[in-house]
Amino acid sequence: MLLILLLLLTASTSATASTDATAVTAAATASTDATAATAAIAAATAATVAATITSTTSTITNTITVSLPLLPVSLPLPLLLLQLLLLLLLLLELLVLLLLLLLLLLPLLLLLLLLLLLLLLLLLLLLLLLLLLLLILVLHETNPFSLYNIVLWKAEESSHPTFSQAMQPHVTHCNIV
């Protein structure tokens, strides 16, 4: 759409310049001096080219200014292009700085990740050790010949003496008499 608008404006400016050039050419041809006629034709052609360039530049500048409302309206085309180029360079510089920061922080991030993995491994080993101890306790309590149950049985036996142990002091007493 902008291209069509640009072509229409250029065509109207060229038509006006062509009319002026035709009038100058007719006047120059009517002149008797051939050198003056050639100079007049060259001047008319230069005026036409200058008018076309000026109108095209003006059209492009107006189109860009309307298309880019964030940029100042009063800037001509070269300054707008320079401003866009500087903006792109600034964005590129920010991207490079972010990449450098990431490269600087990457070893620290990897070290933190490694420490976190080691901590998780340590917690997993501790959990497995606790499960193993729990398994050992459960197996010892259910097995009648386990060391745990034998120790309990001996402790109960020593706290409740048998008949022969209970009669021991009486036998000794009888022997003395």
Instruction: Tell me the pLDDT tens digit for each residue of 118-149.
Output: 999 999 999 999 999 888 877 766 666 666 66
In a domain, 74, yes or no: no
Q: Is 115 exposed, middle or buried (0-12, 13-18, 19+ CB in 10 A)?
A: exposed
Going by the DSSP 8-state scheme, the letter that residue 145 receives in this structure is T
Q: What is the pLDDT of residues 10-57, one digit of tens each?
A: 555 555 555 565 665 665 555 556 676 677 777 777 777 777 776 666
Would you list the DSSP string of 140-163?
A: HHH-TTSHHHHHHHHHHHHHS--H
In a domain, 167, yes or no: yes
Q: Judge if 110 and 41 occupy the same domain.
A: no
Q: Judge if 8 and 61 occupy the same domain.
A: yes
Q: Judge if 43 and 108 occupy the same domain.
A: no
Q: Judge if 121 and 168 occupy the same domain.
A: yes
- Cβ-count burial 12-31 (b if 16+ within 10 Å, e if not): ebbeebeeebeebeeebeee
Q: Judge if 6 and 57 occupy the same domain.
A: yes
Q: Judge if 170 and 128 occupy the same domain.
A: yes
Domain count, the chain: 2
The whole domain housing 10 covers 2-67
Q: Residue 80 is which amino acid? A: L
Count CB atoms within 10 A of the CB of residue 58: 14
User: pTM for the complete prediction?
Assistant: 0.31
